[in-house]
Copies of this chain bind each other. A is one copy, B any other.
Amino acid sequence: MKKRDIPKETVNRLPLYLRCFERLLEEGEYTVTSEALSRRLNLNSYLVRKDLSRFGDFGTRGVGYKTRKLAEKLRAILHVNRKWKVGIGGIGNVGFALMTYSGFDREVFDIAVAFDKDPELIGKEVNGVIIEDEQELTRRVKEESVKLGIIAVPPAEAQKVAEKMVKGGIQGLLNFAPTQLDLPEDVRLTHMFFTKELETLAYYL
């Protein structure tokens, strides 16, 4: 299956399906119908069936999907059945919150390196990781084979830090700085603009 064949919107929903299957397993539910799934996720059941059919048909008519099998399949598709080293640039309030965030599965997303330019922060340990000098970013990211990066520096510095990361071999970037970034086309970039989420909520009020 070629990656290009899967629409971006479907890819964006895969983590939601995975989370849902994992939750069903915790609740001891080993099968789930597309209708039950669509109710839980607040999605159209036709869409759910279409999304999941793209990855091989694991549903049985009248019985539903096998939650364990599909969770494993989704973990493999999302490449989260392995460990990824993550590097963070900027240990201000956002960076610090991410380093101590309890929601990451450290067996999958391991914050391996963290950088700042503030001499007061360099050398300090946060959650088992020692903050390093931003000047060492490219070299260290390469050395540690880090492929995922998080930008948590102020907007004015985001472009520069992102370039250092890409130069070190980082291929996927999560940007928390409220600014656009101009990067090579083969680098995957996701923006975390909290404002965007609040705007979407405000629309419905």
Q: Does chain B have a CB within 8 A of A23?
A: yes
Instruction: Give per-residue flags for A77-114: 1 if the beta carbon is below 8 A from chain B beta carbons, else 0.
Output: 11110001010000011101110111111001100000
Contacts of A86 in B (CB 8 A): 198
Contact B195 A104 (CB under 8 A): yes
Q: Does chain B have a CB within 8 A of A64?
A: no
Please measure, in the bound complex, the distance between the C-alpha atom of A109 and the C-alpha atom of B147, giving whole angstroms: 34
Contact B147 A194 (CB under 8 A): no
Please measure, in the bound complex, the distance between the C-alpha atom of A16 and the C-alpha atom of B199, giving whole angstroms: 10
A203 contact from B11, B103, B178, Cβ within 8 A: B11
Contacts of A173 in B (CB 8 A): 201
Identical chains in the assembly: 2
Residue of B nearest to A198 (CB): B109
Q: Does chain B have a CB within 8 A of A159?
A: no
Contact A80 B194 (CB under 8 A): no
Contacts of A190 in B (CB 8 A): 197, 200-201
Which residues of A come within 8 Å of B, CB atoms?
A: 3, 9, 11-12, 14-16, 18-19, 23, 77-80, 84, 86, 92-94, 96-98, 100-105, 108-109, 147-148, 154-155, 171-174, 177-178, 180, 188, 190, 192-205
**Known contacts A80-B202, A190-B197; 14 further A-B pairs (Cβ under 8 A):** A3-B203, A9-B9, A11-B203, A14-B199, A15-B195, A78-B199, A84-B198, A93-B100, A94-B97, A97-B97, A103-B194, A148-B205, A172-B201, A188-B204
A-B contact pairs, 12 of them (CB 8 A): A12-B200, A14-B199, A15-B199, A19-B196, A23-B180, A78-B200, A93-B101, A148-B198, A148-B205, A188-B201, A190-B201, A192-B192
